[in-house]
Structure formats: C-alpha cells, structure tokens
Structure 1
C-alpha cells in the first residue's frame, strides 16, 4: 500500500488516445507524483461484452493504484465509444501499442502490463519484446473460448518477469493444457491457481464466494517481490 496516506487516485477521461482505427475511449487512474511505474490493463473479448469496466479489470486496476501507480484502461476498437470494428485480436494488438505509446509520451515511466482473458493474450503479444514494458500479468489466460483458439508461441521470447493467475475451475483454461503452455514460457515466471475459482474469479457451487480478493493478493505479493513496490 502507498506510504503516503494522503494520496487519493482520481479518474480522468482521456480524449487523445488515437489507435490505428480511430479514437480509443480511455480512463486514467492518476498516481502519486513519485510513482516508479505506470500500468496498463486490458479487457476481455469485446463481442462477448468485454469492456474496461469489467470486474476483473477493475480489481486489477485497484491493485496497481494501491501502490500509487497511474493506470490506463481503454476500450478496444469497436467496444464502448471506441472507434473502429473488432478485428479478431489482430488490430487490437496495435491498439495496445497505441496505449503504450500514449503512456510513454504522457507519463514517461516504465510500464507494467496486466490483461484479462482476451486482453491477456492480445496484450501480452503486443508487449512481448517491447522494452518499455518491464513486467506482465496474465489473468485467466484462455486456451479455447466460444470456438476461438488462443496460442502462446510468443512466450519463450518474453524475458521480463511474468505472473499468470487462473482459476482452477476455469472453463476456458484447462489446467493440464495451460501448464504445458506455460512450461514453454521464459523465466522469470510464476503460475498461480486460485482454488475454487472459475474464469471470472467467481466461486463454484462447492465454494461460492467470489475469489477476486485472492487474485488481488497474488498480484500485490508478486508486485512487491519483483518490483519492490510498497
């Protein structure tokens, strides 16, 4: 948690985030003046209703702001008020790159990335190998969802610290398959399975309580350990 008890994050509407397909609707949660990093958080599959207001995205943002970091969220092309149309994850990678460039230009800080579901796959693809990005968090990484296959052949090329968090009852990320996928990822990496959690970090019938707080604890601990945040 931030050591400055007077710090309070504010939400700003961003009007000048331009992607290749047009303006991207975006929000910035402000950070402390001495923040050592900025953060970018990406949302799940747009045609399935994913936006930057998704609960998992919101809770991930709250972890970053608890350290006083500024956090940018945006809607992919065609989602919410963002211009353009859905591009099957291809053009969306360029939306992520546009967001990274906005952060670089406006905040001039090294960047930490987190994405949920579709946003984790697309965002990590765009961030992998980008020297502006110093760490990546994949939440609910999908393998197959609604007839769409997600691949992770890019992971062996990602040298920055990586955290992967999935529910052990995630219907889109079978544990045996995901563990094989993540075994190919370059070090440093950490994989966490949240017991009794589904894809959205909600509970299952035998453990109905939502598990978003556990997701946050794992994120917070990893950020403290890897990046000495407090």
Structure 2
C-alpha cells in the first residue's frame, strides 16, 4: 500500500464502498474521482498509476477521491462486468458533490486501464443527465490513462480529454488506442519507452497530467 490517508466507507449501490480522500494545501478548486484497474486482475485504488493521478490533481489544487470497486478491499458486493462498477463511480461522485465546500466547483473524472473505460462511461452518463437536469453537474475534465479500448467498448469522449498511453504498452497496445482515438480526431500523449504500468515513468506521467491541468486552469 502506498502511503495515503486512512480510508473510510460510504454507502454505495451494492453496499459500502471504501474511499480515500486527498486534499490540496488550500481550498479545493474542484473534485476529481478516479477509477482503478480491473478488479479480477489485482486492480485496487492503491495502484501506483491511480496514486500518481491523485498526486497530480492534488498538486493542481483539486480534491482527489479514489475508491475500491465493489468486492475489492472493504467495498461490499461482487464483480459486475463494468456495469455495477460504473454505478459505483457515479455513487462516489454524487456522495462527494453534496459537500458545501464543492458547491459550484468543477468535476473531473479519471481512470486507468479498465478504470479508464469506467470513467468514460460515467462521464457519458453524467453529461447526458446534466443536459436533461440543469441542477446536475457535468464533468469538465476527463483524464484517461491507457483506457482498455482493446477489451471494452470505450465510448467517444470530448475533444479536450487527456489520453496518455505508454509506447510499449503490453496490455492495451498503442495501436488499439490509436484505432479508438483516430475517428474522433482525439490527440494521444505517448510516453516513450514504457509499458502499461509506467514503470520508471510515473514522474513523467504525473508531470504530463499536471501540465494539462495547469494549462486548462490558465485558460479558464
């Protein structure tokens, strides 16, 4: 386990969900929720890439929330092939948006590998719901790291989405990411000389995400 604040549990659609909250040095500029890799392949919220995404957002001033999908760690329930895991993420978002400290602030979603698929699905559902109900918050940012395009039907995403991929990804090959991104005209940031888990390149990944967030903040 990577050093982090103690976890807590909140109510979820299939029972309790285990979450970890990391706060920036000052009042948050927004809320970020991140989804972890495939639960049946050892994925948890303590994955190093998930941790790196949280650190980048916290350094950019966001409150970062990570959680364990149903059936992982202290989260109750059982694997649901991505359907229930998406509702888990939506439940975590809804719970934290009730905090008055976040009222009127932007929402960002992020995900790694299978979690990238889940984050993209959650983004689409939240955006559609917000279009029909003005009181709901649509995500303003989406960050996907090696989303599982070779294994799942990852939906189209907004043109401002940050997609980061390892050049030598052995789990979700770069060619699959490009096949998914090409019809959307979606840029992909490729980190040379690294695989799916960004071994030895986590600092590079953090800086790529941090630069993106700071550039967006500078233009908003």
After superposition, the Cα gap between the structure-2 partners of 1:185 and 1:129, relative to the gap in structure 1 and judged at 3 Å, is farther
Show the counterpart of 1:112: 108
Q: Deviations over 1:125-155 (max 9, x none)?
A: 11125243111011111233xxxx2122x21
Paired residue secondary structure (1:53): coil
After superposition, the Cα gap between the structure-2 partners of 1:228 and 1:57, relative to the gap in structure 1 and judged at 3 Å, is same
Q: Is contact 2:31-2:107 (8 Å) kept?
A: yes
TM-score by length of 2: 0.85
Show the counterpart of 1:198: 195
Distance (Å, rounded) in 1 between the aligned partners of 2:27 and 2:159:
23
Match of 2:206 among 198, 202, 216: 216
Show the counterpart of 2:134: none
Q: Is contact 1:134-1:160 (8 Å) kept?
A: no
Show the counterpart of 1:66: 59
Show the counterpart of 2:146: 140
Q: CA deviation at 1:35?
A: 2.2
Show the counterpart of 1:121: 117
Q: Is contact 1:32-1:70 (8 Å) kept?
A: no
Show the counterpart of 2:175: 176
TM-score by length of 1: 0.82
Show the counterpart of 1:206: none
1:226 lines up with 2:216 in the alignment: yes
Which gives a bigger RCO, structure 1 or 2 (Cα 8 Å, sep 6+)?
A: 2
Number of residue equivalences: 203
After superposition, the Cα gap between the structure-2 partners of 1:90 and 1:110, relative to the gap in structure 1 and judged at 3 Å, is same
Show the counterpart of 1:7: none
Show the counterpart of 2:131: none
Distance (Å, rounded) in 2 between the aligned partners of 1:79 and 1:52:
9
User: Which segments of 5 or more consecutive residues in structure 2 lack a partner in the other structure?
Assistant: 127-136
Paired residue secondary structure (1:164): strand
Q: Is contact 2:146-2:196 (8 Å) kept?
A: yes
Q: CA deviation at 1:59?
A: 0.9
Name the structure where helix makes up a greater proportion of residues: 2
RMSD over aligned CA atoms reads 1.9
Bigger CA drift: 124-133 or 73-82? 124-133
Distance (Å, rounded) in 2 between the aligned partners of 1:13 and 1:177:
35
